[in-house]
Structure 1
Amino acid sequence: MITGSKLRAPEGFKGLTKDVEYYFLAGDGRANRARLVFFDEEGTTASLLTLSRPEFDLALTNGDLVECGSDATPPWLMAIRGISVDQLEKDRVRATKSYDEMVNKRYLAIAELVDHAEEILSNDNPESIINAHAANQSPSQNAARLRFWFFSYLVFGRSKWALMPKFDRCGRGKREQNADGQMLGRPPKSGRKSRSPATAEMQASILDGFIKYNDKTKSDAEIFGAVLVGEFGCVPFTTSTGNKKFYHPEGKPFPTKGQYDYYLGQAISTKAYRKARRGTSGARAKSGFVGSFSHDLVNVNQVVEFDGYNPKGKISGLLEGSAMDSACIVRGVCGQSGAVVALGFSENKETMEAYRMALFSMAISKVKFASLFGLTIRKEDWPTYGLPQNIVFDRGPGSTMGVPTRSEAVARDEMMSWLSRLELTPTHSGQSKATVESSHPRTKSDNDQPTHFHSSLNFVEICKRHILQAIYDNHASDAEGKMTPEMLDVGFSPTPHNIYKFYSDLGYDSGTEVTFDYAVREFLTPHPAHIKRSGVYFYGRKYNSSKLIDTSVFDRIALNGQIPVTAYVMTMCVRHIWIELEGVLYELDFVKPASVHPSSVDISLSDLQVLNENRLRGNAQLREEQPAILQDRNAQFLHATGKAWDSGTRKLGRPAKGGASERDAADQKRLMGKGND
């Protein structure tokens, strides 16, 4: 059960209304309680309900509470589900404020609450903390409205678009801390005008300056001084009383030490700051006893480690069947259960697309993911679902996937807002991803004469095999070391699959659900495609779907016209593609002629691009050969008849029907009759 899962009490339970949907809100797993949220039908208020953890677990076991699915879209926003925000903006008339501005205003109001969500939810009275936060705002916020925004954001995918206003609301002015140029907080001891508001530009300069001048060999005071001089252009001077201070020659604003520390702490986590200032070894020394990799974890999907490996052996090329380097397999393994929860593929070596495909596999149902490769599995075979809160990458292609700060998340459409922390393994710490490293399949080796194995499988078939391998590993690996007394009391085999299911069924799951459309737009690779009258063409391959036909888009295209669109693709298998038309995503299937072999459906994007290059090269060759073929035809006709292919004269009017034409017709008739005899 993940955050946002819907629950019903069929017969009523502990004050819960019968057959009303409640949403599970995963908080601090150590707290001996479970949190449920109820939203009214109008989408205006939210109420928090608390149950003791044993009582909640027993209710799930006895059927007093029944899980009835989940949905990353709030019920009050179902009318715009699946439609992109860009399309919604295009449909508006004389809008004075964009949806992005409206949503950003709401997100900024709860941003500090989101940063401390786990602490708030583990408190005995979280609503009082939210109410106090609303009252402490300047100007003060409506407490009920702030609670509604906060719970909506946590329940519905941790996406700022869950805060989208309904169409009959236009929002209020943007809440920016320094919009009026006034200082917040208590006045400084040296006078009200002795410092300046920390604008967004100043905050960005603080972070840029720290990154630029940070040096583990220097003190914090030295770095702060270097930032003021190098980034803000300040100059030190001595006052009349003999004190040393900074001033700006042009009177421009610069931060105080308190502002510098505060906004640096907002932009960089404590752990990241400690590593930056003390180095990896120093930060590890300050962190105390590390222990096992899972002893500090409470939920599944709390931390997921990613790593790629290259299976030994060669695979067969699609066109010639020659030996080629095998695919790179990227796995994501849950730190708590040891289950493989993500799978991505790339050709030959690790790429960013493989890591994004692995995240895509986590964001959607595994049944759907397997079907995209032509595999049919059951939900029970691979039940892992939901994006993790924290991920661990090595210093490979995945390290380029950054986590946005609060201001960046608002400014950049909150990309990857579901992710709380991205951790990169240190260069001198070989066991920082031991959970995923130990899960990779092993190949036995010997000291005999070197050999190599040439598999008859192609790229896509290798991907299918590793999907089934991941399912096998989840069901057959020995995870006895992760078993707890509660698990032993229930009694089940110590496999990652059973451990994951045990935690998730009881709500110990930090996974975040997102919509399928979001997963496609966020994680799959965009490529150009064209809609023509006969279908959608992607690198020369034809795709279509009944839903796309129902839009009548093909009726609007001229005979030889085309509409350019963006296609989202899984690079290792182009059996299906997704295109966006008027803000709505459509899943398209490959249109396979009856004469084409079924195996040609499953090819990778690179193979499709090779086939497209061959197609274009063949078309160019035909255009080059056509004139020569025509001239050769004309020469053969001239040699056989003694006349040119187009010999004759063009005359005005219709052909004459005189005596000569009648005699020629009679002669031809006689000759034809004689030939028949």
Structure 2
Amino acid sequence: MDTALETNRSTDVSDLLLQNSLIEPTPGIDNLPLQGLYRILWVDASNDLLVAIAIQSPLKAPCEFQLSAWQQLLEGRYIQPTALTLRPFALQDDDSLPEHYLTIRAKSWAIIEPLVCDAMLPWIYHPKHRGSAIAQRAKTLAIPPSQLRRLLYKYWAYGSTINALLPCYDLCGPQGSKEERRTKPTMGKRGRRPVRVLFNDEPDQVGISAASVRSRLIAGITEFLQPDKTITKAYEETIKKHFNKGYERHGKLSVPIMPEAHEKPSIWQFRYLIQQLDYNLSLTKKQIDTSTWNLAFRGSYGSSRSHLFGPCARFEVDATIMDIYLVSTLNRAWIIGRPVLYVIVDVFSAMVVGFHLGLEGPSWEGARLALFNAFSDKVEFCKSYGVEITQEDWPCHHLPHKLLSDNGEMRSKASDTLTKTLNIDVENAAVRRGDWKPNIEQQFHLINEGTIRFLPGALVQREREVRKRGNPLDACINLRELTSILIRRFLQFNHSRYKADRLPPEMVGEGLLDATPLAVWNWGIANKTGRARREDPQIIWTALLPKAIASIRPKGLYFDGRHYINNRLCLEERFARARTRGKYDMIEIRYLSYAPKQIWIKNKENRSWEACYLVEHELSYAQARQEELWDQIQILNYEAEKKQNAQKQINSRLDAECDDIVQKAQAATKEARQGLSKARIAASITSHRAIEKEAGRAERLRQDVESYRTTSPLLQRTQTSPAPTMPDPLEDIW
């Protein structure tokens, strides 16, 4: 058994001592007979011979060693195999090498090729044979033998390949490494001379080198290059503190004396040093927060589609405030601001499965309506906005296994219904990590760049005109019209957005190369197990539709300024009972803010939601969104308040005049009744009433006569002289 172990150990050692292997002494061991790095050129086990060349500067002739001695050193771990850093040309093709490199290599190879051919091995390694061969070859080429030796030793030292003869320009240059030369304080300023030297012809104004003031520049960069400061500001602060020529007093202030242009580093030297120090992006990370780094600067590898097993495995949902101003459906003169858009995308196929456009800020109210749209049939929805489609055009009404959202509305308690009722796992992305939802962010980008920016009222439309007039003044599209536009855009995306890397390998294997979201969705639903689910519409309505309370009134079911009726409520005389009793009953409803034509009430008998429809005389409000009606109510209340305030002064004046009339009447009546008893005043009411009636008739008769006299043309032509004054026949009555 010991013999077998010795044999295996000897075999392992022999495998390490092969031709072209590199051997070096083990670090930390002194007084070894072998010093430096060696490359093995020839191994002859039968003669216990090993030929190796030391890799040193300058290169010297190869040496002969006993193979057994090297094996003992290797077994004792006094020496060890190693490797050299590859030369710059090692990973390049000949086509990428400079032409003069190839010329030098070809000339060198032509000189030594007869000496390194197979016929000369191993004799070329023996000193006597090598010396005579080199002398004869040098005589033939008429070159010094030393030149041939240098090429031959270089060929052996760098791997015995033709590329070993390439020039070693990478090992040339001034003393020290590039970093050492860069930081050497005595290094003069390099580069083109500044303009001030050309005009003044003063060499001492060349300027200072960055190496001579490197420590001060680094101190300024460390102190002043902060997230809230630009590079220019950090440079100015650095010059003030680290390159000033002293301070001068101005009262209690110490003002730094700024240096001349040639006494300070330039802004370009400052920037160049920042680039050198930022080789590992440490300064970039210092200037931005972690969220911004992760979002916009970190390396992006991987895919959001990893570990997904089909459609509906994961949906992404997010909201954005659109860059466009809208007008009201009720009155186009009213500008209602910028809407909020919710979009839901299937990650596996990139299919847009639902959306919601409204005025409610990013919140659970908007998200629930987008989810309701995603889980519902799209045919009726599109038809309500004037878009005729079939089920195959937008076949998305499924529930997902997981729902990924940002760290917002899905963290509310109201969203717990997704998990408890609909069995959907809700996932929340980290704060400010939009890159976790790339499909949604892509949709927002495509909508803004491909559609919104070209519409009237968009924020980015006609940048030259933005300075002349406000964007809201161009607004002319309402919520319903923009929703209709978005429906068409999402249909266009689902049907035509071709992206080859979206194709699953199995789909390619079947020869199906249609990479549009609709094709990938249909194939995935038929062939993959994405856990797509359907749910009863009644449960979806209960879980996702907004809940409210309506009152049963004589004119119908009253909700938000509108009245609705239902056959069952009419048959049960619920509206008549409300009118008879004078008491309004409350009932729970479900509604859609973008579809005010109907609301839903619960039928307890068949345990379902049934629709109530808008009464006929209020159909003019059928196109108005819930938010727009609220805006209208607020506007009307405001106008009523303004009218009431304006009328108050008029009413006050009228009240004062009425009070004055009453006071004067009271004073005149009091004067007329002086000396009369109460009995006498109340005794003749009937006769007094008859006299008042006759006086009224006589007064009306006199007014008619006067009117006839002034308007009759016959009397005006025949009457040439004033008529004699006649006694008034009514004088007796008065």
TM-score by length of 2: 0.42
Q: Which is bigger in relative contact order (C-alpha 8 A, separation at least 6)?
A: 1
Is the helix fraction higher in 1 or 2?
2
Structure with larger Rg: 2
